[in-house]
A and B are shown apart, each in its own frame.
Chain A
Amino acid sequence: MLQKNSIGLVGRCICLNLVKVRNCISNICLASLQTTIMAVEYDGGVVIGADSRTTTGAYIANRVTDKLTKIHDRIYCCRSGSAADTQAIAEVVNYQLGFHSIELDEPPLVETAANLFRASCYRYREELSAGILVAGWDRRKGGQVYCVPIGGMLVRQPVSIGGSGSTYIYGFMDSNYKPGMTKDQCLELTATALSLAMERDGSSGGVIRLASISEEGVERKVILGNQLPRFSTH
């Protein structure tokens, strides 16, 4: 099935024989999701979260972006990096996974989705700028989080953070994440972590978008700017 990606990324845009032409248009038009994204596994599902800021240079092009993109009924991805690249990849994988799911006549595995992302991200690693977290629930392994950073690595992790704002919360995650948390604890952890990152990272901000994916379905939530958890160092 995976051979039939002729209307995949190749048809979309990228040819490995591309001629390098000096780009006349300044990179200020390049919309970027410098961001903070996070995904946590719990027993029975996953919780994913992201901020909502898209920047072109120093201007916030979209302050209410939805970076949690649906790939399948129980599989979502969190996008960071170039807005155009991640939108394109997500659409391609959406198509490929949908096709695959129809062929199998059953819901696809999260690992399959993650591998499809990895295939595109690794193959076109020189041209793309995309850091993606794939998270979802399937019947075989339950809730899973896979990390596909820039370069096209694929690794499964119980909790994963990404984007420019993630550098500020590695310490917080290391000290506050404990295996075996419940869904509500995961939601609180995600909201707190994202809030801390948004506080310190200029490229992250806006509102927090959360989603929890389990066998029952997907529950989406938005935490508005004035409802964010507050912290103070003094």
Chain B
Amino acid sequence: MIREAMEMPPKGGFSFDLCKRNDMLVKKGLKEPSFLKTGTTIVGLIFKDGVILGADTRATEGPIVADKNCEKIHYMAPNIYCCGAGTAADTEAVTGTHNFCSLSRCNQHVPFYFICLFSANFILQWLFLDMVSSQLKLHRYHTGRESRVVTALSLLKSHLFSYQGYVSAALVLGGVDVTGPHLHTIYPHGSTDTLPFATMGSGSLAAMAVFESKYREGLTRDEGVKLVSEAICSGIFNDLGSGSNVDICVITQGEKEYLRNHMLPNPRTYISEKGYSFSKKTEVLRTKITPLREMVEVIEGGDAMEE
């Protein structure tokens, strides 16, 4: 009977087998490993010539700011970018950034064995790093054409729907393709909306208030960037889950501008005069350097092979 169970083909989706055991462990007093959430304010708007996306740069782990300057605007295709709110691992894994920094950031406070123990409930997707942006690239090779925003939308939507909301990624997808500029929001359960301006994340109410009062059709590039910065700042200053700097990405027909840290409204103002280095306590007696890799010289020569 056990052998039969082992021979079953692996089913897709999450395995929730360990949930009851996890609950029991938590009741006994074991602390659940925390996961990195992007509290976030992410926005997008359509202006005269294209799309502008904006995001804050704070990544939180409960009440602690884990990363003061993370990147929330992810690359999908040369003409399509996607902002992500929700669990940092999920948004990156779903949109497909193979950033080493993001991997190490996800691993930071969650040692690997905890992942094995506490599966299921924690939606850690780094096994699926090749997601939508890779699928889009393959699609570009197959079709020989520039990717369309609705393609990215369908791929993201069907992935999120199949996980029934357990992949906690809320996305703002924007880009310009042959059919024009497009802006979409995608919710963790897989539903989408197409809008001229959109906000997502914990700071979305603050940012939406700015958009609803100041947005109009046919904004110029500078007006659009200014409005997006204002909306993100509103999220940064009024929402606890958002903070630090403003990232902007302007996408127009045929070109894109990624303005990383376009605004830095939270500079570090106090620097201790004493300095932050540690004082030397022990004296160095001897230094020996052992190279791990030896350089070997190959001398060409000898007789060539002849038949």
A complexed with B:
no
Residue numbers of A with Cβ under 8 A of B are none
Residue numbers of B with Cβ under 8 A of A are none
